Amino acid sequence: MSTLHDFLWLLLACAWVCAGCVATSPDPTREARPGPVDARPDSTRSVPVDRDTTRRPSGDAGPVQALRAAYREGAYDAVVRRIRSRRRDDSLHSSASQALHVLLGRAEQARGRHAAAIDALNTARRIAEGEGRATTAIDWALGESHAALYRWPEAASAFERVLSARPEDRAARQALAEVYRRAQRWSKARAQYARLVRADASNGRWWARLGQCNLGLNQTERARRHFGKAHRRVPQSAEVALSLSRLHRAAGHLDAARRVVDTTLTHQSGDPRLWRRRADLAFERENLKRARRAYVRTLATGDSSATVYRRIGLADVRRQQYARALPFLRRSLRRDSSHARTTLYLGVTYLRLDSLRRASRYLQNTIDQEASGPITDALAHQGATYSRRGNVSAALEAYKTARRLRPGRAELDFRLATVYDEHYRDKAPAARYCRRFLRAHEGGLPELRRYAMSRLKALRPTLHMQQGPASSE
């Protein structure tokens, strides 16, 4: 009997245990049910989000945190799609809506779509202002996007708001100063950089920016002082050294310019710009041997421009090393055939090497290039100036020199005809140049043609009456 009683109690205990196991086992339908899935294609790796059962005052924080995690992992496209799919949800709290719009703006910034970023950030800012929240971080992001779109007034306004909220924030002041600088609002940029260097006089970059602002305001001496302070703090900066040496050079302080470049070359020996500046300074001082060495280093460090080859050739020609100059001048001509000085020195070199046919060809090329340049225009205008001042012989000489340089420029025939007509009793030269002009310019310069034809017609009785063409040329 006792055994039967024990058996019944054991059976009842097993039943209770089984019932408890069934009651606490997971529902397979609930366990297998996935969360909401965006059916649209997503080229960005999806971010797994664990189900959060923690009780919160609002149900919006979980999705926002998940989107922030996706943003941190670089899933910008997915973040934008998911936020745009739910940002019109009226059930969102204002704080969650603001957070989503800020996140949307940042994601659009990361995708390079700054106009869309500005729209989202402006919405976030309106929400924050309506709730009395701080907008400093939003304003900073707005400033970045406006600056990326070169909207300098809007960028400056955004960073000014940041600086108003945090007046001791040097990063904000630097961002505002940089916007002013890039907008070329030199006075405002200088005021901000001046405050920055007062706060930290060891920052060489800020001194250089201050110097650039003074250059923009045409205050070169101040700029030279500020670039000097920048160079002492960052002697390794090639940009600072080039700017300072340029200012020293413009002021005639070639030795000071050379010292600046030499100092930075000890830090940046592979920068071709510094070697080029070093070579140019030596070339201007007629130190041709040192200039040539520096130009060769310029080539070795990566600047193989036509100018560098030409300067090496010029240095050799001036030192009467003609055979040595020839390959460098040829290379310069291959890179740039438009520079008259290259063909001139090639002609001189071949002349000194007794290659007369080549010398003649290159020298003629030089003459042709110079004639097609501004020299002919200058001579023509000089002729007009002499004519108006009554210096007739000088006017004729200027016009005839221009005509020899550019024989196909028919307008010069018209100018010569006018001078002879106005200042000489013998009208034969005037008539001759009028006819040349009309033959050469049958289609162009209609006003000059009409005047030349009418004047030639008016001269016929005078020419008929004159006894022979007494040449006045």
Per-residue pLDDT reduced to its tens digit, 306-336: 999 999 999 999 999 999 999 999 999 999 9
The residues near 48 (Cβ < 8 Å, ≥ 6 apart) are none
Q: For residue 174, give the CATH number of its domain.
A: 1.25.40.10
Rg (alpha carbons) of the chain, rounded to whole number = 41
Q: Which residues of 360-369 are buried (b: 16+ CB within 10 A; e: fewer)?
A: eebbebbeeb
87: confidence class by pLDDT, cuts 50, 70, 90: low
Better-predicted residue by pLDDT, 124 or 36: 124
Residue 218, SS3? Answer: coil
Specify whether the CB–CB gap between 98 and 128 falls below 8 A.
yes
Distance CA 354, CA 371 (A): 26
Q: Tens digit of pLDDT for each residue in 142-159?
A: 999 999 999 999 999 999
Look up residue 161 and give its amino acid: R
Q: Tens digit of pLDDT for each residue in 253-309?
A: 999 999 999 999 999 999 999 999 999 999 999 999 999 999 999 999 999 999 999
Give the helix/strand (H/E) hosting 243.
Answer: helix 238-250
pLDDT recorded at residue 341: 93
Structural domain ending residue among the three candidates 123, 155, 183: 183
Query: Is the pLDDT confidence value at 24 over 90?
Result: no
Distance CA 97, CA 123 (A): 9
Specify whether the CB–CB gap between 159 and 172 falls below 8 A.
yes
Query: If you average pLDDT over every residue of the chain, what do you get?
Result: 85
121 within some domain: yes
Q: What is the sign of the dihedral through the CA atoms of 344, 346, 348 and 350? A: negative
449 within some domain: yes
pLDDT recorded at residue 470: 47
Distance CA 362, CA 360 (A): 6
Distance CA 263, CA 256 (A): 11
Distance CA 363, CA 369 (A): 10
Distance CA 388, CA 395 (A): 9
89: confidence class by pLDDT, cuts 50, 70, 90: low
77 within some domain: yes
- Helix residue ranges per DSSP H, 149-237: 152-165, 170-182, 186-199, 204-216, 220-233
Q: Tens digit of pLDDT for each residue in 228-248?
A: 999 999 999 999 999 999 999
pLDDT recorded at residue 323: 97
Give helix then strand counts, H and E, for the chain. 25, 0
278 within some domain: no
pLDDT recorded at residue 445: 73
125 within some domain: yes
Query: Is the pLDDT confidence value at 43 over 60?
Result: no
Specify whether the CB–CB gap between 200 and 168 falls below 8 A.
no
User: Could you list the residue range(s) of the whole structural domain that residue 456 is in?
Assistant: 374-465
Q: What is the sign of the dihedral through the CA atoms of 447, 448, 451 and 454? A: negative
Structural domain ending residue among the three candidates 183, 199, 223: 183
Give residue 184's region: left, alpha or beta (phi > 0; psi -120 to 50): left
**Intra-chain end-to-end CA distance of the chain, in Å:** 158
Q: Mean pLDDT, to the nearest integer, of 172-199? A: 98
How many domains would you assign to the chain?
2
Structural domain ending residue among the three candidates 133, 149, 183: 183
Residue 467, SS3? Answer: coil
Q: How many CB atoms lie within 10 A of CB 58?
A: 12
Better-predicted residue by pLDDT, 404 or 29: 404
418 within some domain: yes
Q: Mean pLDDT, to the nearest integer, of 185-211? A: 98
Q: How many CB atoms lie within 10 A of CB 402?
A: 25
Specify whether the CB–CB gap between 438 and 413 falls below 8 A.
no
